[in-house]
Amino acid sequence: MPESLSLSFLVTWRILRRPYLPTKLRHVKLQKIFAEFLGTALLLSAVIGSGIMATNLTQDEGIQLTINAISIVSMLYLIITLLGPISGAHFNPVVTLGELFKNRIDAKNAGAYIVAQFAGGFCGTVFANLIFSKPVIFQSQHERTGTNLFISEIFATAGLVMIIHLLIDQKRTNLAPFIVPAWITTAFYATSSFVFANPAVTFARIWSDSFAGITLHSAWIYMIAQLIGLPIGLIAARLLFVKK
């Protein structure tokens, strides 16, 4: 009996000393999901926080837009650079669905990514509201409707998807921290919809009645446009793909 106990203790001790042991793969998966959650949360804290700060600083809408744009693209550079090697830096359900279509992620992980993105976006918005002494959750009254905005959002999303897939196909993903923010900056000023191009971001922006907010009704219209933009972007990237 003592020998049995000793053997059991020895086996247990060796198991406990193994780093990550049978949970190593689970740990890696959770790390990726957390990176998606954190990245999307940080992105929304920049979107909402800079929008509130901009309206606190000036009434000039052009300057407000510029402050918001600088904050967003700077945060994109940071999270893509730092979290890209961990999760692939999706931070966007449209990007994740595109990767699922290309079989670069399985359905289970894609679902986990999308949940993390929506949850992260919501938490980032709540945090931004909190640190600017706003109600933690207050639904936006900023209506964004119109055929022009719908078409604009399709274009903005299709362009983003096309760029990401061209970078992957050309094996130049190291340029993503520069190219993706460059597209967002361009589309920020060149489109009428202010380039949401992200269902998780769109949903999160419902919960802040600030410069960057959007009504629930408008948000669903934007999300539909984004889902239409996804296959258009994939088709465009495919047409431009060159086999070597």
- 156 found inside a domain: yes
pLDDT at 243: 72
Q: How far is CA 134 from CA 20, 43, 92, 181, 199, in A?
A: 42, 18, 26, 28, 24
- Per the structure, how many domains does the chain have? 1
Q: What is the pLDDT of residue 72?
A: 97
Tell me whether residue 147 is exposed, middle or buried, using C-beta atoms within 10 angstroms of its C-beta: 0 to 12, 13 to 18, 19 or more.
Answer: exposed
Flag whether 3 is in a domain: no
HEC per residue, 81-117: HHHHHHHCCCCCHHHHHHHHHCCCCCHHHHHHHHHHH
In a domain, 145, yes or no: yes
Q: What is the pLDDT along the chain (244 residues), one digit of tens a residue?
A: 445 445 444 444 454 444 444 555 566 689 999 999 999 999 999 999 999 999 999 999 999 999 999 999 999 999 999 999 999 999 999 999 999 999 999 999 999 999 999 999 999 999 999 999 999 999 999 999 999 999 999 999 999 999 999 999 999 999 999 999 999 999 999 999 999 999 999 999 999 999 999 999 999 999 999 999 999 999 999 999 877 6
Look at the block and give the residue holding tokens 């804290």: 45
Contact 121, 43 (CB under 8 A): yes
d(CA 127, CA 124): 5
- Contact status, residue 105 vs residue 181, Cβ threshold 8 Å: no
Establish if 6 belongs to a structural domain. Answer: no
Domain that holds residue 137: 25-240
pLDDT of residue 3: 54
Q: What is the largest CA-CA distance in the chain?
A: 82
| Cα–Cα distance for residue pair 37/87, rounded to 1 Å | 10
C-alpha distances (whole Å) from 69 to each of 33, 74, 195 are 26, 8, 10
Instruction: State how far the Cα of 190 lies from the Cα of 164, in Å rounded to an integer.
Output: 19
**13 domain-assigned:** no
d(CA 199, CA 225): 10
The answer to whether residue 16 sits within a structural domain is: no
| pLDDT in the model for residue 8 | 47
Return the CATH number at 193.
1.20.1080.10
Nearest to 31 by CA among 143, 144, 113: 113
In a domain, 169, yes or no: yes
Answering whether pTM is above 0.75, one says yes
Nearest 5°: phi and psi at 208?
Answer: -150, 115
